[in-house]
Amino acid sequence: MAKRDYYEVLGVGRDAGAMELKKAYRRIAMKNHPDRNPDDKQAEARFKEASEAFEVLSDDSKRARYNQFGHAGVEGQTSAGTADFADIFGDMFGDIFGARRGARGGGGRQGADLQYHLELHLEEAVQGVSRTIRVPARVRCEACNGSGARKGTAPVECSACGGHGQVRIQQGFFSVQQTCPRCRGEGKQIRDPCSSCRGAGTVEETRTLSVKVPAGVDSGDRIRLSGEGQAGARGGPPGNLYVLVEVRPHPVFQRNGADLHCDIPIGFVDAALGNELEVPTLDGRVKLKIPAETQTGKLFRLRGKGIAPVRGGPPGDLLYRLVVETPVKLTARQRELLGEFREIQGEQGSRQNPKWQSWFDGVKRFVDGLRG
């Protein structure tokens, strides 16, 4: 059975923002969760379908792939029915469906991911390069090893929640859990904070990192540096750093996937009589033979002279587009010669300007049709 469109599943438009997605998913999940609908297979299916849709559309990279390629773009990257309810429904309802917020039992939370924009010249993107970047981030405090407690001491179990990070509240016939207000879900409290980080377990630091950019990257590609994101809370693992590549415009070449394009201006005399031009490539210069009577817009292709894709495959092509240029600032002698040329050309009729003649004939038929 074919999957439904994720936007249709959540009942939102394709331009829906994060809050609209969250509200739509919350509404469907609250209504169809299996704990509220025991033995109802249809409700369970709707719940899983909505969870899968929200998981994709709430992730910017997955959403971009889905928008471009549909379900095939996120194949194997979803885990329907396992969305983070603590994030969706907030602290008050974090445990209605068994989800826990924070670090239950005092375990550390993973740090947040970071993103760095890296600008490259086209040559660097094509050939690959190593670049040094400076990234400000919060790193683990060395004085307390990330615990937040002064050296020689340790966090103690929270007396309010017993180390669970959650407290249970009775609201009428509902019994729900929320994040412990005393330890904020950590499960532990710091009686004697570290003087270096003031109990946070992390400190601000600007790190110098080396990024190896593979050959063939393009604007929008991301390079992941594992463990180089924000430090985790209370000794948890760090997040990742994603280096987002942006290739600057090139003064000569325009990139289209693996192909390169280049406009070559040429005088009308060379276009009419033919010539051999020296044209640029990424490896140097080559000779390009221009046949006589070449028209503007004519494409010439050098196979394999484009870019080798970063994910493998044969290199693209280099395409030259000829642009016939009209001379300016003519001398008196040049004007005289061109005047003679125009007179001679007029005697030849339409044989030397077939495109102009066909265009003129088309305009004439159009005008005659309006009159008739």
pLDDT at 174: 59
Q: How confident is the model at residue 77 (pLDDT cuts 50, 70, 90)?
A: low
Instruction: Average the pLDDT over each of 154-163, 166-175, 176-185 and give the range with the smallest value.
Output: 166-175
Least confident of 46-55, 87-96, 278-287: 87-96
Question: For residue 107, is pLDDT > 60?
Answer: no
- Predicted confidence band at 200 (pLDDT cuts at 50, 70, 90)? confident
Domain 1-83 homologous superfamily, CATH: DnaJ domain (1.10.287.110)
The whole-number pLDDT of residue 161 equals 85
CATH code: domain 254-371 is: 2.60.260.20
Question: What phi and psi values does residue 345 have, to the nearest 5 degrees?
Answer: -65, -35
Both tokens assigned to 334: 């040049």
Q: How much is the pLDDT for 226?
A: 92
Lowest mean pLDDT segment, chosen from 98-102, 239-243, 318-322 = 98-102
Q: How confident is the model at residue 76, as a pLDDT?
A: 64
Q: 291-334, pLDDT tens digit by residue?
A: 999 999 999 999 999 999 998 889 999 999 999 999 999 999 99
User: What confidence tier does 219 reach under pLDDT thresholds 50, 70, 90?
Assistant: very high
Note the pLDDT of residue 171: 60
Q: What is the pLDDT of residue 94?
A: 35
Q: Which residues pair with 168 in a beta bridge?
A: 177
Based on C-alpha coordinates, what's the Rg of the chain?
Answer: 33
Tell me how far apart the alpha carbons of residues 372 and 357 are, in angstroms, rounded to a whole number: 22
pLDDT at 92: 32
pLDDT at 280 > cutoff 80: yes
What's the pLDDT at 197? Answer: 87
Mean pLDDT, all residues of the chain: 83
pTM for the model: 0.58
Residue-range domain boundaries for the chain: 1-83, 254-371
User: When comparing pLDDT for 13 and 186, which is higher?
Assistant: 13
Which pLDDT does position 303 carry in this prediction? Answer: 94
Tell me the C-alpha to C-alpha distance, in Å, between residue 44 and each of 28, 30, 36, 249, 285: 11, 11, 10, 50, 64
**Reported confidence tier of residue 347, pLDDT bands at 50, 70, 90:** low
**Beta strand pairing call for 129-140 and 222-225:** unpaired
- φ, ψ of residue 244 to 5 degrees: the values are -90, 120
The answer for residues whose C-beta is within 8 angstroms of residue 348's C-beta and 6 or more apart is: none
- Residue % of the chain over a pLDDT of 70: 86
Cross-strand pairs, 88: none
**pLDDT at residue 212 above 90?**
yes
Q: Name the 3-class secondary structure at 234.
A: coil
Residue 337 to residue 339: CA distance in whole angstroms: 5
pLDDT at 223 exceeding the cut of 60: yes
Residue 105 has pLDDT above 70, yes or no: no
Is the predicted pLDDT of residue 108 greater than 80, yes or no? no
Tally: H helices and E strands in the chain:
9, 15
Question: Of 57-61, 91-95, 286-290, 336-340, where does mean pLDDT reach its minimum?
Answer: 91-95
Q: Two tokens at 159? A: 């007396």
Average pLDDT over residues 335-351: 80
- One-letter amino acid of 161: C
For 124-146, the pLDDT digits (tens) are 999 999 999 999 888 888 888 88
